[in-house]
Amino acid sequence: MKLFGTDGVRGLAGEFLDAITVLKLAKAAGIYFRKHSTTKRILVGKDTRRSGYMIENALVSGLTSVGYDVIQIGPMPTPAIAYLTESMRCDAGIMISASHNPFEDNGIKFFDNHGNKLSTNCEENIEKIFFDDEVLKEGTVTGKNIGSSKRIDDVIGRYIVAIKSSFPNDLSLQGMRIVLDCANGAAYKVAPTILDELGADVITLNDKPNGYNINDGCGALYPANVGKIVKEYRADIGIALDGDADRLVVVDEEGEVVDGDKLLGALCTFLKEENTLKGEACVATVMSNKALEDYLNSHDLELLRSSVGDKNVLEQMKERGVNFGGEQSGHIIFSDVAKTGDGLASALQVLALILRKKQKASVALNPFELYPQLLVNLKVSEKKPLEEIDGLEEILEPIRKKGIRDLIRYSGTENKIRLLLEGKDKKEVEESMAVLKGFIEKVLWEKSINYQ
């Protein structure tokens, strides 16, 4: 069984992620981190899911059993855990969250002592320990070596100060009306506080979590709801966060959702104008529209592509000396401000852009037109290597000759194959997708279920 997926360990709470599994995982992680320990402290935060109580207690039991002292800080955004882990000089940080998934799911994300997400190699080492009962037994401590735990409730102020400091001192949100959707998630306290302290007139939605309503018809997955309120209250902009606040979706003053690639393009050129962009490039994923690439090229900027996942984006940013990147889904990374995608830090940069340009959001955040893109997801019974699918290259060759970009990949967490085609001619893209989809269904998964 493989534990780690695209972003930590994630699954149905109480089933895949039951108390025993979490305890074992905590012991394995503790034994791994202990090899390079300096403080013997690990920070643990969570979002607002009911199952967070079970998982948090299991984590504490596992970590203390291998000698770690645990600092519990309660509901806080994922990027806050990354920041506070380094700030409080802990050996590691752990976030309990399944991000944008429904409340039934939960997950565990790990950060090293610098607040960075773990590399694939680190995750593999923890997995190896997890499945080795002898190492787990040997790593268990007794007597005075058993760790302790304590809960600290006042660290919220540290994160608020850090995020506020990323907003230009000469700007104010005074007079700006903002609709904020907290998704009944981890940022339900910090997000309204930050915007309010910077002077905004904040209309806050979904800031009353009850353990079951996180992401439930709200937040970044349902930005249309924010759009309605923006128009109703004549707000300047809408901001929708997901359950752990590491991503955001922006809605302009007309109630229209701003495409993630357009947001990346507008922010990247803005950073260049402000002389704060490093590396003369932006890192995005293979999913980003080619129109973004062409737009950046027209401004003498390069688009670098990584695999899907904000962790992969950040790794390439480090390799190429770039301080800005993200995913079209809303994970945006300003590495000078945060070590991972941070919905609040990104929101403040978007607001700074609008104020600097003295333009409405619908103008400032709409710098180019996207090329037609079609994505189809198909359920599969097995994930057969793409290079072993006979006839696939022959199907793709004429499609590519039309100038259509293709991306075929398997989901990292589900039994799905994702087919993406993109080109300047919408009709050609649709016709090519019909051919490709028909081929996949006929040759491999005749009974598969198609859904968007």
CA gap 450, 289 in Å, rounded? 23
pLDDT in tens, 148-181: 999 998 899 999 999 999 999 999 999 999 999 9
Catalytic residues: 99
Separation of CA 197 from chain center: 25
In this model, does residue 357 exceed pLDDT 80? yes
Residue 5 binned pLDDT confidence (cut-offs 50, 70, 90): confident
**Among the ranges given (198-202, 258-262, 414-418), the one the predictor scored with the smallest mean pLDDT:** 414-418
Task: Judge contact between 244 and 78, C-beta under 8 A.
Answer: yes
Separation of CA 143 from chain center: 40
pLDDT in tens, 181-194: 999 999 999 999 99
Q: What is the pLDDT of residue 247?
A: 94
CA gap 394, 300 in Å, rounded? 36
Residue type, 230: V
Task: Judge contact between 201 and 233, C-beta under 8 A.
Answer: no
